[in-house]
Amino acid sequence: MKPAFTMATYAIGIISSKLVALALQPFVTQWLGPEQFGRLDVLITLGCFLSLLLALGLTDAIYRFAHDKDENHQQEIFSGALWLILLCGGGLTLLTQIASPAIQGFLPGNPPVFALRCLFFTLFINTLCTVPFAILRIRNQAGLFVGAQIVFAFIQGGGVLLLTSDYGIDGIMAAGLMAQLTQLIVLSKTFPVPKASHQKLLLRYGAAITFSALLGFISLGAERWAIAHFLSLEQLAPYAIAMQWALAASLLLEPFSLWWFPKRFSLTGSANGLQQAANISITGCQLGTLITAGTITIGSKFLLFWLPPGFHASAEIIPLLGVMLMIKHAATLLNMGCYQQEKAHSVMVIGLISCALSLTILFFILPNFGLYALLVSNIILQLLRLLLFYGWSQHRLPLPYPLPRLLLSYGLIALLLFVHYQELHLYEGLILLLLVVQVCWPWLRKMPIRHTLGA
């Protein structure tokens, strides 16, 4: 399957599935209100945290060690990863089910125990499904990958419509569990036979990724609990809505990532391959600037129309979140050297640095200076992460990145953000046009990246 067709298939599935969830947002916000919606977001944040522990970084390990053409070796990696998830993830799920009442008392807002139990089962099944999803991506079977995502989205959306108005947060969590069970059935034929193979290799690599991801959660994720604790659930709700839309916008880049991430290590064997990898990575970063520009110029205006008045603060928050996610996305594209190592120790070190700075932001800046100080501080933190990942990656695996192109794109984004908050709307359109031309210039000049993507 050609890369362009593969990415288009991924795009259709991702956009369709996310549109279902976002289309329900006006109903959910009215049914729940700011306080209940903030409580729901606390649960969602808990799910993000636990999913990192359940997955053990094994999806990244699969991409790292199963990208070759040896089918027997690939199958052993797939089987070993599923075995580890069943063993470790199943044990953790059992513990969380037993400890649900204690976990409820620990969380801000004390979400319902029934919702917690549904969430824990849903996360375990979702983690099991990451193995067949990884297999489908490696084998370029985008059709089934996308079909399973769409089935999940529509069943969950239907369940939310039927259950939320009467059962609130419990209904939303139950709808997610039903959808996840259905997705499991759709993917059932793709599951490998669990087998205890390559466990040390997978765990050694996955442990570093998991530890780094947990540290990354503190940098971007745990701030929701801090907002609920230091500020209020009512202030968390518009932040959570803005983050949902910023993430939804950034997911327009997901088709590119779904195609590129499983393949990038296969290009590191030659000088020409390294040049191709560098060009493609910078192109992905520049595509991120286009998404961010749309978030700044269109997203903030759209939220004023889309949401009830109690959530209109989201429109002021979303431009800063868009910039933060743009930089975070760039860090994932310019870090190939960090993941080239089998143990990925550099990823853990960068995670520790980011975690320490993030805790400083959460415990000192947020309580004393408020939400907008948190947003600006997080942008600076993501910039630091990007520089650390880039520097360490270049030390381990030097790539000839065409950096001037990316720096010019980032300069235009900074200018666009400035004129947006100054309400100079005429200049917004002009800067957006300049950014589109600048990002598309390599294709206009027929640079090698055009032939790379068509290869």
Report how far residue 401's alpha carbon sits from residue 272's, in angstroms, rounded to the nearest whole number: 13
Residue 181 pLDDT greater than 70, yes or no: yes
Give burial (CB, 10 Å; 0-12/13-18/19+) of 277.
buried
Burial class (CB in 10 A: 0-12, 13-18, 19+), 414: exposed
Give the pLDDT of residue 450.
Answer: 46
Q: Which comes out higher in pLDDT, residue 336 or 85?
A: 85
In the chain, % of residues over pLDDT 70: 91
Prediction pTM value:
0.74
Residue 176 banded pLDDT, cuts 50, 70, 90: very high
Q: Coil, helix or strand for 66?
A: coil
Task: Pick 273 or 360 by higher pLDDT.
Answer: 360
Instruction: Name the more confident of 441 and 267.
Output: 441
Q: Is residue 384 pLDDT above 80, yes or no?
A: yes
- Coil vs helix vs strand at 344: coil
Token output for 214: 């947990």
Residue of higher predicted confidence among 124 and 310: 124
User: Which tokens sit at 32?
Assistant: 């729940």
Q: What are the sequence ranges of the domains in the chain? A: 1-197, 203-455
pLDDT tier, 199 (very low <50, low <70, confident <90, very high otherwise): confident
Q: Name the 3-class secondary structure at 67.
A: coil
Asked if pLDDT for residue 451 goes beyond 60, the answer is: no
Q: Over pLDDT 90: what percentage of the chain?
A: 27
**Least confident interval from 39-53, 267-281, 324-338, 371-385:** 267-281
User: What pLDDT score was predicted for residue 453?
Assistant: 47
Dist. CA 257–CA 263, nearest whole Å: 10
Question: Is the pLDDT reported for residue 124 higher than 90?
Answer: yes
Report how far residue 333's alpha carbon sits from residue 408's, in angstroms, rounded to the nearest whole number.
17
Q: What is the mean pLDDT of residues 336-361?
A: 77
pLDDT tens digit sequence for 272-299: 878 888 888 888 899 999 999 999 998 8
